Amino acid sequence: MPITYDSDNRIFKLDTANSSYVFEIFEQNYLVHLYYGGKIPDANLKEHKYKGGFASFSPVNINIDDDWFSPDVSMFEFPCEGSGDFRESAFAIRNPDGNNTTDMRYVSHEIYNGKPKLEGLPSLFVNDESEAQTLEILTRDNVTGIQAVLYYTVFEELGAMTRSVRIINPTSKPFEIERLLSCCVDFNTHDFDMITLYGKWFKERSVDRMHLSHLTQGISSKRGSSSHHHNPFGVICDRDATEDTGNVYGFNFVYSGNFTFKAQVDGFAGTRVLMGLNPDAFGWILEAGEDFVAPEVVMVYSDKGLGEMSRTFHKLYRKHLIRGKWANIKRPLLINNWEATGMDFTGDKLVTFAERAKELGIDMLVMDDGWFGRRDDDTSSLGDWQVNEEKLGGSLSSFIDRINELGIKFGIWFEPEMISRDSELYRAHPDWCIHVPNREKSIARHQYVLDYSRKEVRDYIYSLMYDVLSRNKIDYVKWDFNRNLSEVGSAGFPPEKQKEIFHRFTLGTYEILDRLTTDFPDILLEGCSGGGGRYDPGMLYYAPQIWCSDNTDPIERLTIQFGTSMCYPASTMGAHVSASNRAGYETKGNIALWGTFGYELDPNKFSDEEREIVRDQVGEYHKYYDIIHSGDLYRLITPFENPWRAAWMFVSEDKNEALVTSVTMRRPEDRSYFLRLKGLDEEKYYVDDESGEVYSGALLMKAGLSFSRYGMNDGDSFKVYLRAL
């Protein structure tokens, strides 16, 4: 049983294959955290029960033996505001009498197989109840009666857990939630590093690492999306943890809006790690009888460094996050016209793309931005989702027929949460965008954000999308989002509820995504936000792949893909070969192969030689699809640490196949290049598919594979495919 409760000692123990998470019901029903780390087999943890702690100046609980329990120095599962713990809290609620003091204590618990769905929110799921076990703990503030249910789900085999919280108001008066973080983990040491992913448009998810210090450090977003700037992902790890060694704790928020991830180190050498909705841009009125569910946090522990943590996230997401038809069947190899044409295209022009695609073995054409309203540039028409038949030279369905007749599938672009200032929709409903009264609305890319907190707005946009998708044979939708939210307010809600609009906006987006994926289960959805501005598990719940970045320069893509791989699997990374000339087609292909693979260029412009390379690449896409989409990733040389080259490999689950790729970014200094591989079976012998040479797994991992025979110029790359004999 992954979750056990020792009723004599009142201790909960949540075990996975490699970790244990332990906490107790302390005196006076405080939920006190005891341990999170490598797996411990002991059932009896009596000696590890909390002995209490006292700190001068910190209040004590007078009902617990004199003065030996100061909340301020105790480790809590769900710390709240105003009752003696001065660190960052997970929960603050404004009570009907005006104060925000709360003190949540254990009431009861339940342990059951499976995992509950979070209403209206994306969350990890189980395919079978036996795959996970859940602990639900009811807590209550005895003065106000407000309740919180803490959810812990354990994916035993995968070394992973999820956490979430439901606040219930069983009273007859309204409360206001001011702060609600889904996960708090208190550690009794601060000997840690923090790793986060930072960036901006065109340069997403670079890896940042720092020592924790005696302060509160962390990342957040209040842009209304998870953002290009910080990903809702963070790691706390041993200071000397590496790719292959050390204790590593990964946290990922299943949410696409404002978030926070922080670590607070106190004067007692303790570290509190928190993740959840960003309290700076959140508030929620909880009316009598209502409840509120916080999005969930995924926690992954590894005692074998960062690489193992990433592989666990990848497996977990492939099996328990990515849903629907496209989770398990082969995705189409696509060509997208955006970088080649922008909005300057015609139906005839795109048909030539499809003709070339057919010759090359590509499966699908995606028509990007510019097919609707009067959209010839980015100044107009978002919200007017009516087909521009003049541009396409006929109806959308007759255009799609022309593509399909060539044997090519068809995909289309939408930006459903946006409205152009110059649009019929804006002229008809100027109050349908996010705005606050009497204040100029900031514009970005000539557009405003639609007020998805309002049902009538969502219903209207969805009816237009439904019309396009139900009347035409559309196999794929790219869902874009090209600005962040400012002057956040809604004409649909009273003043006291304006704090809810950010979250209501995200819930509105999820509702439409849910309707879309339910009504059109066969459509492959690709998320996008100016590239990877909303690359998070929330979006991945609906869209199995996300366009990784608008930056398709292959060398730039290396850091972007390495960073993204910290927690997101290769099967989710939208990666295309473009016309960018920092490297040749071979290298561009080798790098795009790491992700979903596709093309983003004008295929009419290929030389004969390039056409041959592309044909070969299409063959490689098919050959390596399984190992990339379901194999284990090993980051061998990361471009964040090595200025000369990057290298990575995929290994099949049975360790019988491996695909190794190395890219030279700058002419390296070493005389000969031996790349030490990882993840193989030492006992097995592997044959190099191309040269026919045979090596032991031990040699490949210890002495390394010789890459000296390959070119070492800037932008060179090579891959080796190994098969076990």
Element at 552 (helix H, strand E): none
487 close to 439: Cβ distance less than 8 angstroms: yes
Best CA proximity match to 332, nearest among 351, 357, 350: 357
The 3-class secondary structure across 110-148, one letter per residue, is EEEECCCCCCCCCCCCCCCHHHCEEEEEEEEECCCCCEE
Q: Footprint of ligand GLA on residues 142-181 (CB under 6 A)?
A: none
Could you tell me the smallest distance in angstroms from the CB atom of residue 700 to ligand GLA? Answer: 38
Site size toward ligand GLA, by CB under 6 A: 11
Q: Look up residue 684 and give its amino acid.
A: K
Residues 185-214 touching ligand GLA, rule: CB under 6 A, are none
Residues 323-362 that bind ligand GLA (CB under 6 A): 338
**Residue 99 neighbours by CB distance under 10 Å:** 13
- Give whichever of 374 and 684 is closer to ligand GLA, judged by the CB atom: 374
482 binds ligand GLA (CB under 6 A): yes
CA-based R_g, the chain, Å: 27
Least spacing, CB of residue 217 vs ligand GLA, in Å: 31
CB of 342 to ligand GLA, least distance (A): 8
Q: Given candidates 369, 417, 451, 500, which one binds ligand GLA under the rule CB under 6 A?
A: 369
Report, in Å, the least distance between residue 480 CB and ligand GLA: 5
Nearest residue (beta carbon) to ligand GLA: 369
Task: Show the site string, 649-688: x = touches ligand GLA by CB under 6 A, - = not.
Answer: ----------------------------------------
Q: Which member of 368, 417, 632, 657 binds ligand GLA (CB under 6 A)?
A: 368
Q: What minimum distance in Å lies between the beta carbon of 550 and ligand GLA?
A: 5
Q: What are phi and psi of 509, to 5 degrees?
A: -60, -45
Contact call for residue 423 and ligand GLA (CB under 6 A):
no
Please tell me the number of Cα atoms within 13 Å of 239 on its side-chain side.
7
User: Which one of 136-144, 399-407, 524-532, 641-649 is the stretch in contact with ligand GLA (CB under 6 A)?
Assistant: 524-532
Residue 343 CB, shortest distance to ligand GLA, in Å, is 8
Judged by CB under 6 A, the stretch of 44-52, 109-117, 344-352, 523-531 that binds ligand GLA is 523-531
Residue type, 682: E
Q: Which is nearer to ligand GLA, 160 or 412 (CB)?
A: 412
Interface segment toward ligand GLA; rule CB under 6 A; list 106-114, 404-412, 528-536, 651-659: 528-536
The CA-based angle 57-62-65, given to 5 degrees, is 110
**Distance in Å, CB of 345 to ligand GLA, minimum:** 12
Q: Spell out the residues 6+ positions from residue 207 whose beta carbon is closer than 8 angstroms to its own.
A: 195, 197, 562, 563, 566, 638, 640
**Unique residue bearing structure tokens 């396409």:** 392
Q: Does 598 bind ligand GLA (CB under 6 A)?
A: no
Q: Report the residue number, 23 or 547, with the smaller CB distance to ligand GLA.
A: 547
Closer of 16 and 381 to ligand GLA (Cβ): 381
Stretch that binds ligand GLA, among 451-459, 525-533, 553-561, 710-718 (CB under 6 A): 525-533
Task: Give me the least distance between CB of 596 and ligand GLA, in Å please.
Answer: 14
Extract the tokens encoding 168.
């219930």
Can residue 632 be called a binding residue for ligand GLA (CB under 6 A)?
no
Q: Least distance to ligand GLA from the beta carbon of 446, Å? A: 11
Question: Which residue in 530, 538, 589, 679 binds ligand GLA (CB under 6 A)?
Answer: 530
Tell me if 343 sits within 8 A of 375, measured CB to CB: yes
| Rounded least distance, CB 714 to ligand GLA, Å | 27
8 Å CB contact between 185 and 161? no
Residue 528, CA atoms < 13 Å, CB-side half-sphere: 24
Least distance (Å) between residue 494 CB and ligand GLA: 35
DSSP code string of 293-322: EPPPEEEEEESBHHHHHHHHHHHHHHHHTS
Among 480, 526, 536, 632, binds ligand GLA (CB under 6 A): 480
Using the minimum distance from each CB to ligand GLA, give the nearer residue, 164 or 447.
447
Nearer to ligand GLA, 433 or 528 (CB): 528
Active site residues: 480, 550
- Name the residue nearer to ligand GLA (CB basis): 347 or 370: 370
d(CA 262, CA 243): 22
Nearer to ligand GLA, 547 or 634 (CB): 547
Site membership for ligand GLA, residue 384 (CB under 6 A)? no
d(CA 725, CA 719): 19
Pair of tokens at residue 239: 């200071």
Q: Parallel, antiparallel, or unpaired for β 175-187 and 271-277?
A: antiparallel
Both tokens of 606, joined, read 């290929």
Specify whether the backbone of 263 is left (phi greater than 0), alpha (psi in -120 to 50) or beta: beta
Cβ(225)–Cβ(481) under 8 Å? yes
- The H-assigned helical ranges of 602-707 are 608-630, 697-702
Nearest-angstrom CA–CA distance, 261 and 221: 9
Which one of the spans 176-184, 246-254, 316-324, 527-535 is the region binding ligand GLA (CB under 6 A)? 527-535
Q: Compute the residue count for the chain.
A: 725
Measured distance CA(426)–CA(430) in Å, rounded: 5
Angle at 345 between CA 344 and CA 349, to 5 degrees: 150
Give the binding range for ligand GLA (CB under 6 A) out of 515-523, 526-534, 602-610, 708-716. Answer: 526-534
The rounded distance, in Å, linking the Cα atoms of 49 and 32 is 9
**Residue 194 or 362 having the CB closest to ligand GLA:** 362
Closer to ligand GLA at the Cβ: 228 or 458? 228
Please give the residues from 531 up to 560 whose contact with ligand GLA meets the rule CB under 6 A.
Answer: 531, 547, 550
Binding site for ligand GLA (CB under 6 A): 338, 368-369, 413, 480, 482, 528, 530-531, 547, 550
